[in-house]
Amino acid sequence: MSELFSIRRPQGPIPASDKVRVRGMSHEELGAWLTEALGAPRYRSDQIFKWIHEKRVRSFDAMSNVPAAERARLEELATLEGHALDAVATAKDGTRKLRLRTSDGQFIESVLIPNDERGYTQCISSQVGCALNCRFCATASLGFLRNLHAAEIVDQVYLAQDMLEREAEQSGAQWPERVTNLVYMGMGEPLHNYNHVRSSLGILTDAKGAGLSGKRITVSTSGLVPAIERFGREGLGHEVGLAVSLNATTDAVRDEVMPINQRWNIATLLAAVDGVPMQRRRRITFEYVLLAEVNDSDDDARRLLRLLRGFRCHVNVIPFNPHAHAPYRRPDPERVRKFMHILRTAKLPAYLRTPRGDDIQAACGQLALEASA
Ligand code: SF4
């Protein structure tokens, strides 16, 4: 194992709270806690879980079917504290970037991308900053401040949905637009904050709460091999999708572009991904950010085909979105066309992803809390 790369440590822990963060509890955890702390009947957890995750209330007082004495006790012991919506920027293509202020004054970003189902795919953050140092990524320039608590991960979705409902009400639209799909591809490496990400998945997919479908959720990783193995062991591959940010076809290039490769190289990464049990109809997503004269040659395309042979997968090819924090360029359209042609001729399911929201720095790899929001 190389000593070249070490994963950054957080600048601090998740801030301690003297109250219980009930929004970050699973249905079962909430039920057990309510029984122990309040002596509440078991059915109370159904009611309270629904208030928090389906109706998305922000105060215990709003829980009208909970007895007043229990609400008062909840107020003393628990918190529904969440993020504040600090700013929203809307791109020409309808992509919206939300800047959120956490309760301890940190900023994170979350992006809403209009999708074909007349809703939004939300790209959510899992950390403040990031512990890895991918060279093409603006978030890396922030350093690694801290992990997000499960309550803070799910609250990104609830704030976005609240905003869409408010807008529908204001415009008189009959049906508010909805967050239909989630990708854990915002700030941070989700599998580096495994426990909170895992809890958030359980909460968001609970049918008695937000009820999002696991089929419409994808967790992305830059290649944290031990966590990918855990993801597989714990059966998460049966519940949600997995995306792997590959971005190179040789270790020499990947070592440079994604220094985590110095620790777990391409062969080790692909072996770990191959070991993740998945539902039969599900495919792994490989993300490939195309960097001019770095990883965009015909030889790269052919090596990519060889590397992914045997995988039930598809590849998202993303021409690089330039920003001030990275030394790379976007390949010209002809180079992109040739790269795609090689993949498609070999019948690899490959999709060219046009940058979304790049005029507001909301596109892939551009999240760095700049003034555009
Ligand atoms: S690409 Fe993802 S894992 Fe890499 S530095 Fe950016 S946020 Fe972190």
User: What is the structure's pLDDT at 373?
Assistant: 38
Using only C-alpha atoms, the chain has a radius of gyration, in whole angstroms, of: 21
Whether the CB-CB separation of 49 and 27 falls below 8 Å is answered with yes
State if residue 200 touches ligand 1 by the CB under 6 angstroms criterion. no
CATH number of the 20-79 domain = 1.10.150.530
Half-sphere exposure of 204 (CA within 13 A, CB side): 33
Q: End-to-end CA distance of the chain: give it in Å, rounded.
A: 41
Which mutation among 222, 364, 369 tests ligand 1's pocket best, with the greatest number of atoms within 8 A of CB? Answer: 222
Which candidate in 36, 75, 364, 370 is catalytic? 364
Centre of ligand 1 to C-alpha 57, Å, is 32
Does 246 sit in the ligand 1 pocket, CB within 6 Å? no
Match 């190389």 to its residue by tokens: 2
217-221 and 179-184 beta bridge pairing: parallel
pLDDT average per 10 residues of sequence, the chain (373 residues): 72 91 97 95 95 97 97 97 95 93 95 90 96 91 94 98 95 92 96 98 96 96 97 97 97 97 97 94 95 98 97 96 90 98 97 80 64 41
Strand ranges, E, within 157-230: 179-184, 217-221
Ligand 1 close to Cβ of residue 348 (< 6 A)? no
Q: Which of 70, 109, 189, 239 is catalytic?
A: 109
Q: For the chain, what are the domain ranges?
A: 20-79, 84-360
- What's the rounded Cα separation, in Å, for the pair 144 and 13? 11
**Which uninterrupted H or E stretch holds 233?**
helix 225-233
Which ligand 1 atom is the nearest neighbour of the CA of 130? 8
Tally of CB atoms within 10 A around 316? 18
Q: Is 364 one of the annotated active-site residues of the chain?
A: yes
Per the annotation, the verdict on 123 as an active-site residue is no
pLDDT at 323: 87
Q: How far is the CA of 186 from the centre of ligand 1 (A)?
A: 8
Topology annotation, domain 84-360: TIM Barrel (3.20.20)
pLDDT of residue 300: 98
**Euclidean distance between CA atoms 328 and 96, whole angstroms:** 25
